[in-house]
Amino acid sequence: MLNYFHNYQVDKLDILRPDLANFSIICLFMFIIMCSMTKRRCYKQQMILDTNHTQHLKGIAIFFVFVGHLWVHVSQTKPFLVFSGEAVSLFLLLSGFGLSMSVDVKKDVAYFSHSFV
């Protein structure tokens, strides 16, 4: 009987040049990002890390976690640079920053709504 459900820990891909493959994946992702960017003119003052910036950075962190899992679980050989652990830290840091900023905004809204009533 054919075994259709192979163990992924045993049957891994053998990639000849993992550093070049990793660099190619990251370059392709950056190229897609550059092609999808549009110019926006905004006349209001922006914060350094507003919601759009943090969402973009969290998306990049998620991508690096995905690539890190690809190298750990799919490939026999690993490249020199895998940013999965650092990307998890970046994602958690940005998520905590966003939560603290939303709490501050809610406190300000609650203060101003009660003071003008």
Q: Are 90 and 61 in contact (CB under 8 A)?
A: yes
Per-residue pLDDT tens digits for 29-70:
888 877 776 666 555 566 667 777 788 888 888 988 888 888
Domain count, the chain: 1
Residue 75: inside a domain: yes
Classify the C-alpha dihedral 29-91-58-42 as positive or negative.
Answer: negative
Range of the domain at 94: 49-117
Question: Does the pTM of the predicted model rise above 0.75?
Answer: no
User: Where residue 81 falls among pLDDT bands split at 50, 70, 90?
Assistant: confident
Residue 59: inside a domain: yes
Residue 5: inside a domain: no
Residue 27: inside a domain: no
Alpha carbon distance 62, 64 (integer Å): 5
Residue 73: inside a domain: yes
Residue 89: inside a domain: yes
Residue 101: inside a domain: yes
